[in-house]
Structure 1
Amino acid sequence: MTESLPHPPAGPLAGIRVVELAGIGPAPFTAMMLADMGADVVRVDRIGDVAPGPSARTPHPDLLNRGRRSIAVDLKSAEGRRVVLDLVADADALLEGFRPGVTERLGLGPADCHAVNPGLVYGRMTGWGQEGPNAPYAGHDIDYLALTGALYGIGPTGEPPVPPLNLLGDFGGGGMMLAFGVVCALFDVRAGGTGQVVDAAVVDGVALLTTQVHALRRLGMWRDERDANLLDGAAPFYRTYECADGRYLAVGALEPRFYAELVRRTGYEPPAGEGRDRTDPAQWPVAREHWARLFRTRTRDEWCELLEHSDACVAPVLDWREAPHHPHLAARRVFVDHAGATQPAPAPRLSRTPGGIRRPPPHPGEHTDELLRELGRDDEAIRRLREAGAVA
């Protein structure tokens, strides 16, 4: 079962103000991570995204936008740009995920923002980076993985490579790297440095994530063929298997003692001719067939009852609905209920200043008046901005 979060503590980033220019994917994920850790994140949404009529009573369903307040601004209007620059003047960081040059054309590029706030950390999230032959063009997670070699290594032999959702690129190589870069730059400012630009590119981050594979290749421990290596599903002791009920089991018994525990608990009998060196790839195809037959003799949950609470390194392959209710995840509150939505909890955990979900996802423009008043605009000034179409 999931658990509702109590009112969260301040968090390690309490006192940090972040302005987020609304986008999709990795930059909002960065903003969510910073908000989870206590930063006051103001999301600048597009006027066209504001729903007509009164705001809905229920939170917006996009969980990536949790933890923020939203102001809706026309970035192409002079009055709208002024509002954003006023927000920037009192901020510690800005996040944007547009193509290179877009914020410069809007008058909200690094030079414009540093003119009003020299200490600002200007975080930029793109797929290809701010320069290079591909920089001006569109791309998606699958493209960045393809270029770095990461996609080449994922999938069965003889079949096309399989994209690992968009988790590896957008969120692992993109959003997390931007969050890391922004926090690094904030530390530099706190130490007396001036503001700077964080150029976070998904393609850079994905390449960094593949460092171990490059190391294994240099060590002679990785073959360039797909589905032929210790960690890509070729090894019989590191792959998924179908069970009697059509559900799946993940087996990760890499080390000899963990493999021995797996063999002991399952009663696995090596096929005739299987040598003692289980790491010999020549023996893997036959061993995989024998393990597959064995795992099809019981249901997934029957195998879990036998193997999960042991050093056999076995876990059930859960679907999206099952995962929040697994006893281990429930015990650690990995998923929580907040504002009526079950969702992943903030991570990682800090012992003294833990993170927390402070607000549900806002509707675009939900806090426009509140934030304008914080900037010193009175009711008449807000009315004029709204009549001019600069805010909504």
Structure 2
Amino acid sequence: MTDNTASTPGPAGDQAATAGPLSGIRVVELAGLGPGPMASMMFAELGADVVRVDRPTPPAITDVLDRGRRSIVVDLKHPNGPETVLRLAERADILLEGYRPGVAERLGLGPAEVHRRNPALVYGRMTGWGQHGPRAHTAGHDINYISLTGTLAAIGRAGGPPQIPLNLLGDFGGGSLYLVVGVLAALHHARATGQGQVVDAAIVDGVSHLSAMIWAERRYNGWTDDRGGNVLDSGTPYYDVYETADGGWFAVGALEPQFYARLVELLGLPEWADAQEDRSRWPQMREAFRSAFAARTRAEWEKVFDGTDACASPVLSWSEAVHDPHLAARRVHDVVDGGDVPAPAPRFSRTPGRIAEPLGHRGSRSREVLTDWRVAGVDELLAEGAVVQRDTPAAR
């Protein structure tokens, strides 16, 4: 693996720290899937010591975002299983869980129990629907959460069905990132006052807040519920994607007049220079753009637009993005465990984050974690089966 410090140079003479900005912060993660693990991975990449509490039975779905933390296997059905987690929480700054409402409480690991042991701890809760409301106890996934907020209905072309934006918008945009922001804000408060609190991070809340600009556009600038009929949803010819001669695609985002002028100049369509806001001519403009892009390959258009302010760029696949000159120059990707992974973001000039290594085998570091965190009764917890130490590859 190559080293990626994800940093930018500081003033002359400064030396970047070897640990991230969250060095010294301890996080307990109750194992889950999706947005919770993504948040935990971000904490780890920023330097926190993250310990994931796994259960003895392997999950039906493998967590692919398990990098950057140590695993301890705890039997939460054992009389001393929850007690083990509470002992970890006593020494932690943050606890993260993504269960349905009430599950952590039934396990004896709800906020009240944890705060009795550690009043300054930040308790982060990650759910789709939130901790209360008619849907709070029902199952759902990214597509369900964004469907209820209005955002899914807004994505797609006129006359077509809503288009699914992978699970980036709900799980990770409205989920993980809002959990991280909320927990860090609460941690700042806890450090200043000694008072911990609960952070209720719900995807429906986060996605709705993430859409603040669109809500403002609806109120002030005439944004409508007609899919594919607005400025940023393919409603305009100068904010869209066009197919090239070789079956590739080019993205156009020439919103400002000066960028639009450069676009039509480089497309060889000077006759459209004064027609940007003439909606009556947009169908013809779109056809002119479509014909122009279809006349050359994607590579040829890349040469035309390279280094210009036309706001036109090739649509790259995942495998192509790794080799893009700009992303490569910024070292946006690295290699971990034989595969490409994104580097930590954002970047810090003094305390750079680092690529998180794979988790390893579930429970392979149980004793190590308990010892490092100075949890009392390590031998007893292992001997009685409340905590499981595993050393074989099959245990992952």
Q: Same fold (TM over 0.5)?
A: yes
Paired amino acid for 1:355: G
Q: Hey, what's the Cα distance between the residues in 2 that align with 1:20 and 1:100?
A: 16
* Corresponding residue of 1:21: 30
Q: Secondary structure at the match of 1:49?
A: coil
Change (3 A) 1:379 1:186: closer
Number of equivalent positions: 378
Do the aligned partners of 1:3 and 1:333 also contact (CA within 8 Å) in 2?
Answer: no
* Corresponding residue of 1:234: 235
Q: Hey, what's the Cα distance between the residues in 2 that align with 1:275 and 1:312?
A: 13
Q: Hey, what's the Cα distance between the residues in 1 that align with 2:27 and 2:218?
A: 41
Q: Hey, what's the Cα distance between the residues in 2 that align with 1:160 and 1:337?
A: 37
186-195 vs 94-103, greater mean Cα deviation? 186-195
Do the aligned partners of 1:5 and 1:337 also contact (CA within 8 Å) in 2?
Answer: no
Paired amino acid for 2:366: T
Do the aligned partners of 1:336 and 1:344 also contact (CA within 8 Å) in 2?
Answer: yes
The CA deviation at 1:315 is 1.2
244-253 vs 177-186, greater mean Cα deviation? 244-253
Q: Hey, what's the Cα distance between the residues in 2 that align with 1:325 and 1:129?
A: 40
* Corresponding residue of 1:81: 82
1:315 equivalent in alignment to 2:313: yes
Paired amino acid for 1:332: R
Which consecutive segments of 4 or more residues in structure 1 shift more than 4 A? 376-380, 388-392
The CA deviation at 1:342 is 1.3
Q: Hey, what's the Cα distance between the residues in 1 that align with 2:378 and 2:176?
A: 37
Do the aligned partners of 1:275 and 1:283 also contact (CA within 8 Å) in 2?
Answer: no
Do the aligned partners of 1:170 and 1:202 also contact (CA within 8 Å) in 2?
Answer: yes
The CA deviation at 1:359 is 2.8
What TM-score, normalized to structure 2?
Answer: 0.90
What TM-score, normalized to structure 1?
Answer: 0.91
Do the aligned partners of 2:39 and 2:180 also contact (CA within 8 Å) in 1?
Answer: yes
Change (3 A) 1:152 1:326: same
Do the aligned partners of 1:73 and 1:391 also contact (CA within 8 Å) in 2?
Answer: no
Identity of aligned residues (%): 54
* Corresponding residue of 1:385: 384
* Corresponding residue of 2:47: 38
The CA deviation at 1:373 is 2.5
Paired amino acid for 2:247: G
Over residues 20-69 of structure 1, what are the superposed CA-to-partner deviations in whole Å (9 max), with x where a residue is unaligned?
00000101111111111111100111211289xxxxxxxxx955221111
The CA deviation at 1:216 is 0.9
Q: Hey, what's the Cα distance between the residues in 1 that align with 2:195 and 2:79?
A: 27
* Corresponding residue of 2:260: 259
Q: Hey, what's the Cα distance between the residues in 2 that align with 1:181 and 1:154?
A: 27
Which runs of structure 2 are paired with 1:281-320 in the superposition (5 Å)? 281-320=279-318
Do the aligned partners of 2:237 and 2:286 also contact (CA within 8 Å) in 1?
Answer: yes
1:5 equivalent in alignment to 2:14: no
Which runs of structure 2 are paired with 1:154-173 in the superposition (5 Å)? 154-173=155-174
Change (3 A) 1:84 1:47: same
Q: Hey, what's the Cα distance between the residues in 2 that align with 1:329 and 1:176?
A: 22
Change (3 A) 1:117 1:4: same
The CA deviation at 1:275 is 8.9
* Corresponding residue of 2:249: 248
Query: How well do the aligned residues superpose, as a CA RMSD in angstroms?
Result: 2.2
Q: Hey, what's the Cα distance between the residues in 2 that align with 1:360 and 1:81?
A: 26
* Corresponding residue of 2:14: none
Q: Hey, what's the Cα distance between the residues in 1 that align with 2:148 and 2:224?
A: 19
The CA deviation at 1:281 is 3.2
